[in-house]
Amino acid sequence: MAVVSDRTMVLEQFGLTENHIIEFEGFGAKVTELRRWICSGLNVTQSRPELSLVVWDADQLSPECQAVLLKPMEELEEKVQLILVVENENRLSPTILSRGVVENFSFKKAVTESKWSEVRKCWSRKAGYTGNGYDCAIGIEADKYKPQVVA
C-alpha cells in the first residue's frame, strides 16, 4: 500500500518518480546548502540527464537563496530540468518567474469550481465595489474562505 502525497502527484504531472529526481527542501534553507546542492546536482545530471532537480517549497526560500537560483536558471536553459514547486508563486521574485514557465496544478478539493464561478459572478456584478466582496456571496459558503485577521 502506498500513500500518495501532493508531492507524488506533482511528480506525476511531470512524468517523474522519486527515483528520477534530486530534491532540495526550500523551507529554512541556507544559501551555502543551496549552492552546494546546485553544484552537486549539476554534476550528477551531466552524466545522468534523465534526472531532474526539484526544489520543494521554493516559495519559502529567502530572497538570498532565490538570488542563488538566478544564474543556473539563466545558463542551464534546457540542459537540466529545474522544477521549483511552490504553493504561492507570488512569493517568488519577479526575475525567477520571468526565467521559468509557470504551471498551475490544484490537488485540493475543498472548493469546487462551481462555488468559485458563483463568487466570480458576484464580484463581477459588483464592479467598482469597494467592500471586501464577501457580503455578496451569502449562501455559497464564502465565510469558510474569508481571510482571517490575526492580532
Sheet containing 82-84: order of strands: 21-25, 52-56, 82-84
Length of the chain: 151
DSSP 73-92: HHHHTTSS-EEE--S-GGGS
Predicted local distance difference test score (pLDDT) of residue 110 = 45
CA distance 52 to 81: 5
Predicted local distance difference test score (pLDDT) of residue 84 = 93
Predicted local distance difference test score (pLDDT) of residue 115 = 61
Question: pLDDT confidence of 4, banded at 50, 70, 90?
Answer: very low
149, pLDDT greater than 90: no
DSSP state of 3: P
Q: How many CA atoms lie within 13 A of 105 on its CB side?
A: 14
Q: What is the mean pLDDT of the chain?
A: 78
Predicted local distance difference test score (pLDDT) of residue 3 = 43
Domains of the chain: 6-98 (3.40.50.300), 113-145 (no CATH)
Predicted local distance difference test score (pLDDT) of residue 56 = 95
- Give the burial string for 105-123 (b: 16+ CB within 10 Å, else e): eeeeeeeeeebeebbeebe
Among residues 1, 83, 81, 72, which one has the least CA distance to residue 38? 72
pLDDT (tens digit, 9 = 90+) per residue, 88-134? 889 999 999 998 888 887 655 544 555 666 666 655 655 554 555 44
What's the pTM? 0.67
Predicted local distance difference test score (pLDDT) of residue 121 = 64
- Quote the longest CA-to-CA distance of the chain: 58
More confident residue, 120 or 22: 22
